[in-house]
Amino acid sequence: MLSGQLSGLNTSQIAAFGCKAAEPSPGLLESGDARGQLLDVVSAPCEYTRKWQRCIMVRQNKTEYRLFLEDTDLDSQHFVLSAVRDLETGTFYISHYQDFPSLPKEARQSHHCAVLQCPKPKSFKLYSCSCEGCDRVLGKYTCGSCRPGVPEQYRQLLASITHEKQKIPKTASEAHWMKAELPALVESDDWNAPSRHVWCPRVASYDEQGRVRAIPVEEKLMMESALPVWNAARGSLSLKFAEGRVKKASAKNFSLLHGAGDDRKAVLQYGKCKKSTFVMDVRRPMSLVQAFGISLSVADWKP
């Protein structure tokens, strides 16, 4: 039986973490009806642009991952998301249920709410199994035609992530680097309106040859990871992390930046704090599930 651990968060706790407090109908998680629905507590953009939403990710057996929100006022943690990796395909299946990774493979196919797909090496797509536009606004509960090579249940695209190696300035070394494209936010007073531009097959525009048009620049949030810099005092390369949260060196540590010039700042920091445990801190304009998916994508980063 699946346990809906997210139901342990009440509305005031959700608000305290800067999330839009949306809510599952009573018993939604306990009944299992939320298995394919991405809840607003993890899909809504973080409210704060300065304050970090602090999380801990715990890895088990190199294939199972569980994400916990930290409540610093109560000195406690609350489970929010889990993921399991299919080693054959490289796909990560994401769920609201804490014991989801322990389910048999066949059962996991129908109990996830999002998926991180790896269609080609060093390229990832984060899909929700529900859609803010088609479900919430249109009441269709389907996104119409599906994309070539993408299963029908992978619906709203939440992030596109690309990895590569880049040369570190003023050194002979290279470092892991990523760029991410996320849908830009949409401001609205309508509770039912999507919180971001909806990228799904139903709203995709096509040219005269039937090809999907490129997503307009104004609908995108462009992000990239910071490269380490040479620290002469330590005699090594280093990355800057806020609030001293990252305690251990790891090839998987990264800081994701958004904006340009003086407005450029970190919106996601991910780094090792102890064995098999990583901090994952996020702030607006990103959501928890977007940060979780991006963080999962670096599972194969090695020195």
What is the phi-psi region of residue 286: left when phi exceeds 0, alpha when psi lies from -120 to 50, beta otherwise?
A: beta
pTM of the model: 0.85
Which residue intervals of the chain are DSSP H helices?
Answer: 11-16, 28-31, 40-43, 105-108, 288-296
**What's the pLDDT at 33?**
42
Instruction: Give the residue from 271, 294, 275, 280 showing the smallest Cα distance to 92.
Output: 294
Cα separation, 242 vs 270, in Å, equals: 10
CA distances in angstroms from 222 to 141, 161, 177, 180, listed in the order given: 29, 10, 14, 6
CA angle in degrees (0–180, nearest 5) for 246-251-254: 55
DSSP 85-125: E-TTT-PEEEES-TTGGGS-HHHHTTS-SEEEEEEETTEEE
Instruction: Report how far apart the first and last C-alpha atoms of the chain are (Å, whole number).
Output: 40
Report yes or no: 87 and 116 within 8 Å, Cβ to Cβ: no
pLDDT of residue 29: 42
Distance CA 279, CA 273 (A): 6
Residues 6+ apart with CB under 8 A from 123: 160, 161, 162, 163
User: 5-296 maps to which CATH number?
Assistant: 3.20.90.10
Q: What distance in Å separates the CA atoms of residue 122 and residue 227, rounded to the nearest whole number?
A: 17
Which residues in the chain show pLDDT less than 50?
Answer: 1-34
Q: Which burial class, exposed, middle or buried, applies to 246 when counting CB atoms under 10 A from its CB (0-12, 13-18, 19+)? A: buried
Predicted confidence at residue 191, as pLDDT, reads 64
| Tens-place pLDDT, residues 237-285 | 788 898 889 989 999 999 999 998 878 999 999 999 999 999 999 999 9
Q: Structural domain boundaries of the chain?
A: 5-296
